[in-house]
Chain A
Amino acid sequence: MSDPEPTPAEEQVRRLLADARHDEPMPAEVVDRLDRVLAGLDLGRPTPPVDLAARRRRRTARTLLVAASAVVVLAVGFTQLDLGGGGGDAGSAQRSEAGGASAPQSDVDGDSAGDRSQLATGPPVVLSSAGFGTEVRALLAAKQGSASARPIVPSLPPACADLAVGPGERLAVQYDGEPGVLVLRPPSGDRQRVDLYLCGETAVVRSSTVAVG
């Protein structure tokens, strides 16, 4: 019943902690983000819930395999992207697929379909619930390092093609073995948010904010 009296130092620590309390409201951008997530959850309500905890339990057995697969897929994917540009050196950034010549965007008529004509195809990037943040960082780093300015949307599954995911570059992924779309939101300053959607679901399943630049 009787707890030991707090020492003066402990009392001071408590005072310092109380003084460091955060009193400001949730920032507007976080409110907006969570509102969008909620809206997505509402829209997708009839769909079976995504049990993140179950995913977490399942992940242990495959963490190593998934991580290794991710590295291989990333390496293959970005190597493929750079093949047309001459091997991935920094000087190849502006080269098109047409033989490495400097002909940026010459094959695009300027309409929205043009974006699609620039899309690279390939196998989906493998992500796991266990290593999501790290894998996303590695993905963006590899993407920047690839010096390829082209959007990358490898083989979006049909169930994902019509997902309303908002602005951002879309990337087909396998998340814990399930098909999904990773949306790379437009960078805000030195930060870039990345949202994961699973095919057939309208809600964001995972998000991560990554330092860029």
Chain B
Amino acid sequence: MSEAQHEPTDAELLAAHVGGDPDAFGRLFARHRDRLWAVALRTMGNRDDAADGLQDGLVAAYRRAGTFRGDSAVTTWLHRVVVNACLDRLRAAKVRRAEPLPDDLDERGDRGSLRSATDEVADPADHASRTEQRAMVLDALRTLPEEQRAALVLVDMEGYPVAEAAAILDCAVGTVKSRCSRGRARLAELLAPLLDAAEGDPHDTPARNPVASTPVEPTDAPRGPPATG
């Protein structure tokens, strides 16, 4: 009796786009853009490159929508296209880079959002410490090979299940686990000062390791995706 307004699923929107609906892809993208942005940002390391990579992915997804076979969720496919676009850019940059990109250097100094601390931290000193710590983590993350970085961004940062991360990265589950493991091991070396501090008294050391609001669950048990806003 009640004419409940049907909210099309992602798959329906994608099909509508393929069928010629001019608004469908925009609606689909709007649903997922914040999370796609987060993944692109953390994978690329700075806003400008993230926007470029995301744009590449957007254009590719728009144009290749007809090739989506429904083997995975639409959002997984979207992430795959965007992550691949980002990785393509990273690889191309690595090939041609003879010197550090200006963006890479600038990033360390003037881009707040990379080190964005959206948390409501009352103590400015605590806030500064946490921001500095995030910067260290992100700087260390950027030194990893792009495949390891992408795996860690998806699994440890974004909370994707390993299986879904594998689908996004188009590789085996074991490969994702291996990349994550190697990446974490390398990060543990790079971030040793933070880890050492955390092993002391995490509440009294100046560069203390923050205590996560929720415990990090095992690799196979995802924290779950963030609420889309």
- Asked if B83 CB lies within 8 Å of chain A CBs, one says no
Residues of chain B with a CB closer than 8 A to A131's CB: 96
- Asked if A113 CB lies within 8 Å of chain B CBs, one says no
Q: Residue-by-residue, is B170-205 near A (CB-CB < 8 Å gives 1, otherwise 0)?
A: 000000010001001101100100110011000000
With known contacts A12-B209, A27-B47, A42-B22, A21–B42 Cβ distance under 8 A: yes
Residues of chain B with a CB closer than 8 A to A41's CB: 25, 59, 62-63
With known contacts A3-B220, A30-B51, A17–B226 Cβ distance under 8 A: no
- Asked if B93 CB lies within 8 Å of chain A CBs, one says yes
Q: Which of B5-13, B30-38, B69-77 contacts A (4 or more CB under 8 A)?
A: B30-38
The answer to whether A17 and B59 touch across the interface, beta carbons within 8 angstroms, is no
From A8, A16, A51, contact of B194 by CB (8 A): A16
From B33, B54, B195, B229, contact of A12 by CB (8 A): B195
CA distance A137 to B93 in the complex (A): 13
CA distance A124 to B74 in the complex (A): 40
With known contacts A12-B188, A38-B26, A18–B212 Cβ distance under 8 A: yes
From B113, B184, B198, contact of A14 by CB (8 A): B184
Q: Which of A167-195 contact B (CB under 8 A)?
A: 190-191
Residues of chain B with a CB closer than 8 A to A12's CB: 188, 194-195, 198-199, 209
- Asked if A152 CB lies within 8 Å of chain B CBs, one says no
Q: Which of A132-148 contact B (CB under 8 A)?
A: 133-134, 137
From A16, A21, A190, contact of B191 by CB (8 A): A16
Residues of chain A with a CB closer than 8 A to B78's CB: none
CA distance A59 to B103 in the complex (A): 25
The answer to whether A134 and B54 touch across the interface, beta carbons within 8 angstroms, is no
With known contacts A15-B216, A20-B134, A50-B63, A25–B184 Cβ distance under 8 A: no
The answer to whether B191 and A10 touch across the interface, beta carbons within 8 angstroms, is no
Interface size class of B (residues with CB under 8 A): 35 or more
Q: Residue-by-residue, is B35-47 near A (CB-CB < 8 Å gives 1, otherwise 0)?
A: 0111001100001
Output the least CB separation between B73 and chain A (Å).
21
Q: Summarize B's interface: helix, strand, loop or mixed.
A: helix
- Asked if B52 CB lies within 8 Å of chain A CBs, one says yes
The answer to whether B59 and A23 touch across the interface, beta carbons within 8 angstroms, is no
Show the binding face of B for A, using Cβ within 8 Å: 22, 25-26, 29, 33-34, 36-38, 41-42, 47-49, 51-52, 54-56, 58-60, 62-64, 88, 92-93, 96, 102-103, 106, 113, 116, 118, 130, 133-134, 137-138, 141, 152, 156-159, 177, 181, 184-185, 187-188, 191, 194-195, 198-199, 209-212, 216, 218-220, 223, 226, 229
> Can you report 30 A-B residue pairs in the complex whose CB atoms are below 8 A from each other?
A3-B177, A6-B218, A7-B188, A12-B199, A12-B209, A14-B184, A15-B216, A16-B209, A17-B157, A18-B156, A18-B223, A19-B134, A20-B42, A22-B42, A22-B157, A23-B118, A24-B113, A27-B113, A33-B55, A34-B51, A37-B59, A38-B58, A50-B59, A52-B59, A130-B96, A133-B96, A207-B55, A208-B52, A209-B103, A211-B102
